[in-house]
Amino acid sequence: MRDAEGRLVGPGEFLPSAERFGLMPQVDRWVLARVLDLLEDRPELDLFMNVSGCSLADEALLDEMEGMVRARELAPGRLSFEITETAAVGDVAGAREWLLRLKEIGCRFALDDFGIGFSSFSYLQTLPVDYVKIDGSFIRSLEKERTNREIVTAIVAVAHSLESRRSPRRWRTRRRYAPCGPSAWSTARAGTSGVPRSLRACHRPLPRSQHPFKKE
């Protein structure tokens, strides 16, 4: 968003206030409307949208968002939602209901910040996610810390067995992929091969077949 002077304000600056005053369901609703407009305008794009943990207990919001997605008749897989592991743990039943209902209409889900919870692996059985985004605390020192490499390797192995896609949350360079092997990852988070910028500043994306971190 932009402030009164036109300065771009990052989510880290305004989301804490929105959460404090109970405004996150309204924010999620507004963001989904903009995302759906963009998907219609740019048919070559697939997009991920974060969902606040505050919204998971709002069944009326889930009904509304499900209706918004159904009304656009998007191709399956073009819209994906992200929830953090912390949010999912706080309301596992609510998170599961969101996943099941929105997956029924062709959406996908990613579990973000994975690995920081005490019983992380058990949530992969409970929550039918399509992507696992490993928390950055395991990734920052991946090249130097053997323990982190072993933890990440274990997460990847479990995700493979559950047929989830893997995506490291904070990888910045190709070099960091090497410690866990070239076949470990399906996708890479934004920031790996670029930095956040406005959509107007973006060039048309590469065809999916040319994505640098796409695993066939």
- Give pLDDT tens digits for 79-125: 999 988 788 878 888 889 999 999 999 999 988 888 776 556 777 77
Query: How many CB atoms lie under 10 A from the CB of residue 126?
Result: 14
Answering whether pTM is above 0.85, one says no
Nearest CA to 170 out of 211, 114, 103 is that of 114
- Give pLDDT tens digits for 161-213: 776 554 555 444 344 445 555 455 555 554 444 566 666 665 455 454 544 44
- Give pLDDT tens digits for 42-91: 998 899 999 998 898 899 999 999 999 999 989 989 999 998 878 887 88
